[in-house]
């Protein structure tokens, strides 16, 4: 039985899900985990993923099933925030930095005056 690599991933869960999808369609799939240290010399240490191998006569069908499976999967990752609006939103706006700075300087002056008065 000669096999060929039809897909490789760093996600072992994804590899297992793809193997199950292939086997439910009648395609025998073998996973080769290149991170597995139990079989020295069998796996390629320069590779880090899990490879899915099928028999040569089932490569085309397996590739189609894998493409359909991956296309049906939702895109994972953090949600993307919408771009900020260029126009300010209407409503009450807080004091600017200049006003805050003037208030803090006033408080500092009052504190210095009170400390020198004693």
Note the pLDDT tens digit of each residue in 30-47: 988 877 666 555 555 556
Q: Give domain status of residue 50, yes or no.
A: yes
Q: Give domain status of residue 44, yes or no.
A: yes
| Burial letters 40-73, b for 16+ CB under 10 A, else e | eeebeeeeebbbbbbeeebbeebeebbeebeeee
Judge whether 34 and 51 are in contact, CB under 8 Å: yes
Q: What is the pLDDT of residue 7?
A: 92
Q: What is the pLDDT of residue 11?
A: 86
Q: CATH number for the domain including 55?
A: 3.30.70.1530
Judge whether 4 and 53 are in contact, CB under 8 Å: yes
Task: Name the domain count of the chain.
Answer: 1
Q: Give domain status of residue 91, yes or no.
A: no
Q: Give domain status of residue 84, yes or no.
A: no
Q: What is the pLDDT of residue 6?
A: 93
Q: What is the pLDDT of residue 104?
A: 92
Provide the 3-class DSSP secondary structure of residue 117.
helix
Q: Average pLDDT in the 10-28 region?
A: 92
Q: Average pLDDT in the 85-107 region?
A: 74
Q: How far apart are CA 28 and CA 7, in angstroms?
A: 14
The boundaries of the domain holding residue 56 are 3-72
Structure confidence at residue 95 as a pLDDT band (50, 70, 90): low
Q: Give domain status of residue 35, yes or no.
A: yes
Q: Give domain status of residue 63, yes or no.
A: yes
């Amino acid at each position: 039985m000669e096999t060929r690599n039809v897909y490789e991933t760093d996600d072992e869960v994804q590899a297992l899900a793809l193997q199950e999808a292939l086997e439910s369609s009648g395609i025998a799939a073998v996973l080769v985990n290149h991170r597995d240290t139990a079989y020295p010399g069998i796996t390629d240490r320069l590779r880090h993923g899990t490879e899915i191998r099928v028999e040569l006569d089932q490569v085309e069908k397996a590739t189609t099933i894998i493409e359909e499976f991956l296309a049906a999967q939702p895109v994972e990752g953090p949600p993307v925030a919408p771009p900020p609006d260029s126009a300010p939103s209407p409503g009450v706006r807080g004091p600017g930095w200049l006003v805050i700075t003037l208030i803090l300087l006033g408080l500092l002056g009052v504190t210095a005056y009170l400390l020198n008065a004693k």
